[in-house]
Homo-oligomer: A and B are copies of this chain.
């Protein structure tokens, strides 16, 4: 049977309430009693029952994680391990632990969130993706529950707190970078169009083209829904154009891997015949051949900052509504873009 607070109380010759106050380190308890109680806790190997505690003080010391549905391949992207590492680091520092539900469909994920919020299983939620018209964000907002989004939420983003990379800027920068290297025909390969990241990055890409006086060619913009495998189709489509591009901006390292692998099969050499630049700077970027030039977006930092905001919000130290944090990024130049094109 479990050791309860009463056992400790009995052992230390005090009331349960006193033990509780010792746990909370209340100044109202004398030093002497505290020591006696602590000793008793030690001896009996007492650990407070978290559920009793949560029930009584209406707090859980847990943060909920909302991930894309387990069915999708998205989850395989090391991006997630890394955000979670950031989240869990900050969470741990502040004594929170992590809680996750999953579901195979979006509907199930949604149900999971609802019951974790309404069932008071967590004190706050980090949402790890953002797509157009998302029920989850809507729900969290309506129930006035503390939450923060990693990435830019679509709906009403002015009222929700989120942590993001300036993807628009990053998209613009890499495109300009390619132009500086001498490329005039620059394509864009992105993930699912209803992800905010994709839209932002493609937006930056277009702006850059305009600013540099290059034409925007819609057939240069392709989206490949399935991460790596999708890359293959995208590349084939691009290369079969009358004027195939000489450089390509890929919206994710994983996808870039797929793109390069396909180019390799087609015996198109990177970077000589095709420059490739991508985003996220996952550790595999360093070890691909050729090593990828990629935008470091500090994924760990995104998770860490998000959790930071969430904790502020839960403690009601937060700005009333809708704080946004932009984590800085920078381009890491490796070999996939080669040098200047003559």
* Residues of chain B within 8 A of A101, CB atoms compared: 92, 97-98
**Chain A positions 283-306 with a Cβ under 8 Å from a chain B Cβ:** 283-284, 286-289, 291
Tell yes or no: A60 within 8 A of B by CB: yes
Q: Which residues of B contact A271 (CB under 8 A)?
A: none
The segment from A16-24, A51-59, A157-165 that touches chain B is A51-59
Q: Which residues of B contact A118 (CB under 8 A)?
A: 2, 45, 47
Query: A332 interface residue, CB < 8 Å from B?
Result: no
Where chain A touches its partner, the secondary structure class is helix
Per-residue CB contact flags for chain A residues 247-269 toward chain B (1 = under 8 Å, else 0) read: 00000000001101100100000
Contacts of A112 in B (CB 8 A): 97
Interface pair B120/A50, CB less than 8 Å apart: yes
**How many residues on A have C-beta within 8 angstroms of the other chain's C-beta atoms?**
55
A193-237 vs B, CB cutoff 8 Å, 1 = contact: the mask equals 000000000000000000000000000000000001000000000
**Cα–Cα, bound, A214→B311 (Å):** 60
> Min CB distance, A106 to chain B, in Å?
14
The one of B102, B108, B284, B286 that contacts A284, using a Cβ cutoff of 8 Å: B284
Asked if A33 is an interface residue, CB under 8 A from chain B, the answer is no
Whether B51 lies near A70 (C-beta < 8 A) is no
Give complex CA distance A94, B216 in Å.
51
Specify which of B54, B114, B257 is in contact with A47 (CB 8 Å cutoff): B114
Known contacts A2-B120, A50-B120: does B75 contact A76 (CB below 8 Å)?
no
**How many copies of this protein are present in the complex?**
2
**B contact residues around A192 at 8 Å (CB):** none
How far apart are the CA atoms of A45 and B45 in the complex, in Å? 40
Known: A70-B85, A92-B70. A51 touches B47 (CB 8 A): no
A141 within 8 A of B: no
Q: Which residues of B contact A92 (CB under 8 A)?
A: 70, 101-104, 108
Q: Is the CB of A99 within 8 A of B102?
A: no
Give a binary string over A20-55; 1 marks a CB under 8 Å from any B CB, 0 the rest.
000000000000000000000000010111111011
Give the Cβ gap from A73 to chain B, nearest Cβ, in Å.
Answer: 8
Chain B min CB distance to A166 (Å): 24
Q: Which 6 A-B pairs have the closest CB atoms?
A: A47-B118, A257-B287, A51-B54, A50-B119, A51-B51, A261-B287
Q: Which residues of A contact B (CB under 8 A)?
A: 2, 45, 47-52, 54-55, 60, 62, 70, 75-78, 80-82, 85, 88-89, 91-92, 97-104, 108, 112, 114-116, 118-121, 228, 257-258, 260-261, 264, 283-284, 286-289, 291
